[in-house]
Structure 1
Amino acid sequence: MAIVSRKESDLSGESGTDAEFASVVVRQHPSIDQPKSLDVLVSELDSFKDIGGDLVILEVRTPNGETRDVYMKVPDFNKLAPDMPKVLKEARGTRGRVPGTRVGNGNG
């Protein structure tokens, strides 16, 4: 008698060897409150369609303190202002001093 363990795809239920499986981590989805890991056959990886490499990833913070991530294609983001490269260049950073301020007390 032998004990046989097999791995099944979380997507299709199909079996395979360890060498035929990839791990996919779902970091954010409306149905979960923490990341989840899926066992997926390598042949099923093509099912995950990438929306493109040129993405802008935004963190949106509303006045009520809610935070969410937004993913946009670069061309769509750039359409939000007439000269987005200039807007980004002149925007304040998330750390450090406000643009136009100087270090010191003004006596030097």
Structure 2
Amino acid sequence: MAREQFQTLTEPMYYILLSLMEECCGVDIMEKVETISAGRVKVGPGTLYAMLSKFEENHIIVKTAEIGRRKSYVITDLGKEMVEKEYKRLRIMAEDGERYFRKKDLI
């Protein structure tokens, strides 16, 4: 089911999962997304916590700790597989675009 629902990842989804290659909590995830994307992508709390819930339900991430309201998560093997698949898909798309634009002398 997770594979169908997450056939391709949105930018926020992709960066959230990248952030979770190391265990961290929600606030840290938001900061890491902004850092990894060089400030291009920002994730607000509403989006983040909705995604974390969906990812957890689909075994893409796992909660590792809960202290008060602070919850920490880390990506699972399934999540890593999804990020790698998305990375490869994006690279192929970029390479296809580069070939096309070079052929048309647009870049």
Task: State the TM-score bracket (shorter-chain normalisation).
Answer: under 0.3
> Structure 1-normalised TM-score?
0.24
